[in-house]
Amino acid sequence: MDSSSRVRVAPSHDDPVIRSGSEVLGGPTGRRMAPYAGWWTPLRVLLALATVVMAFGVLERGDCRDNAWSRDDGQQFAHACYSDIPHMYRERGFVDGAIPYIDEGDWQPLEYPVLTGGVMWVTAEFTSVIKSGTADARAVRYYDVNALLLALAGLVTVAATIRLAGRRRPWDAALVAASPVLALHGTINWDLIAVALSMVSLLAWSRGRAGWCGVLLGLAVAAKLYPVVMLLPLFLLCARARRWRAVLLTTLMTGLTWLAVNAPVMLAAPDGWKAFYEFNADRGADFGSIWYVLDQKGHGVGPLDVVSTALMLAAFAGIAVLALLAPRPPRLMQLAFLTVAAFLIFNKVWSPQYALWLLPLAALARPRWRDIAIWQAGEVIYFFAVWYYLLGGFDRGLPLDAYAVTVLVRLVCLLWLVAVVIRDILRPALDPVRADGFEDDPAAGPTATADTGHRRVEAFA
């Protein structure tokens, strides 16, 4: 048994909520308990837990699956089992065997980045191996194929989270594996692919593989635009440590990888490739954002792109000041969480599944069940509220004022977690990862200092 395993953190000792809950099972683990002997390592336990949780998410969509996600009666909203996946299959040409970005027809151009579009096309081709059945039946089969793929992406996310948590704190990843967000939001869209790639890229960074971090981050950006903001925390930590080579290499490889994935489509079908960027540029205030509520209440902000971008950049500037002036270098996961949270808060749209972007970052930024539960409560409330609000198109459902309250509740719950993470950065002794003095930042990678790692570091002032 290595020395790091002897000092692994037991959740029943470390987390107040788990410690209180453990009383019904006899109390916290004893000092003489053998740590994780046998086949059931923390990794295997949490992968099994995540598999069960994601399976519940698929079962929760059983009513929609039985009805092939029909748009006619609103039942996909009434049963809160909506998914974009079968609708994209029927309404973006995949059911007709179209190649995204290239083929044109009586369907809307595909408004997704190239890597996600490629995944959508490959899974559509796999679905069409069995050619029997109606379009609706094939759309259900398409959902099933993608649900399996997204479950694998979810497992990769959990595994990367375990590794990023460090050898002493593998159980922090239970905040991801047992999450209702993972269950409810996992198969709304293809976001888990970008999430998995992003977390593996940060894992590469933590292992000192700056080039591979860039390659994986470039793939993530090719799947979903949001991971590009993760370059900011890397720049800030390297600026503070005065170590530029790694982040410059990561940035270069991110750009080259993104270009390598996008260039073939850019050259072969420039109009189809531009559809994603034009769609987002022309998009107004949309569901989930505070801008949508203001717009629906007659207080629209304009020009929204300018206002939204300015506030986002101001938030990033605030994060930069915090990172550079904090008493100790913030942990990478703290800054990554704050950066993505700022991107979401001021974005023009805040779809339910975007909670997945924050999930592993939040678990690593503030590994405390109470604080993560507060944030996720807001996400779960909003998850059900948005579907009931959309029932308004069928003369029933949640009125605008009630929906607006849930948007604000979701925002307040996220701001709570943001505030706690900022407090931990300003007062490192309150950071659960640093509080016992054994580890500084398990994900520091190229910015790690001589006193970091799996050994005791200096006490905090």
Predicted local distance difference test score (pLDDT) of residue 18: 54
pLDDT tens digit string along 153-164?
A: 999 999 999 999
Q: What's the mean pLDDT when you consider all of the chain?
A: 90
Of the listed ranges 38-42, 230-234, 316-320, 449-453, the least confidently predicted one is 449-453
Q: Phi-psi bin for 224: left (phi > 0), alpha (psi -120 to 50), beta? A: beta
Cα dist. 350→57, 116, 161, 187, 411 in Å? Answer: 21, 19, 24, 16, 10
pLDDT tens digit string along 57-67?
A: 999 999 999 99
pLDDT tens digit string along 295-313?
A: 999 998 889 999 999 999 9
Predicted local distance difference test score (pLDDT) of residue 455: 42
**What are the sequence ranges of the domains in the chain?**
3-13+40-447
pLDDT-based confidence at 440, cuts 50/70/90?
A: confident
Does pLDDT of 38 surpass 80?
no
Does pLDDT of 272 surpass 80?
yes
- Report d(CA 185, CA 349) in Å as an integer: 16
Predicted local distance difference test score (pLDDT) of residue 15: 56
pLDDT-based confidence at 459, cuts 50/70/90?
A: very low
Q: What is the mean pLDDT of residues 30-38?
A: 56
pLDDT tens digit string along 347-368?
A: 999 999 999 999 999 999 999 9
pLDDT tens digit string along 209-250?
A: 999 999 999 999 999 999 999 999 999 999 999 999 999 999
Q: What does pTM read for this prediction?
A: 0.92
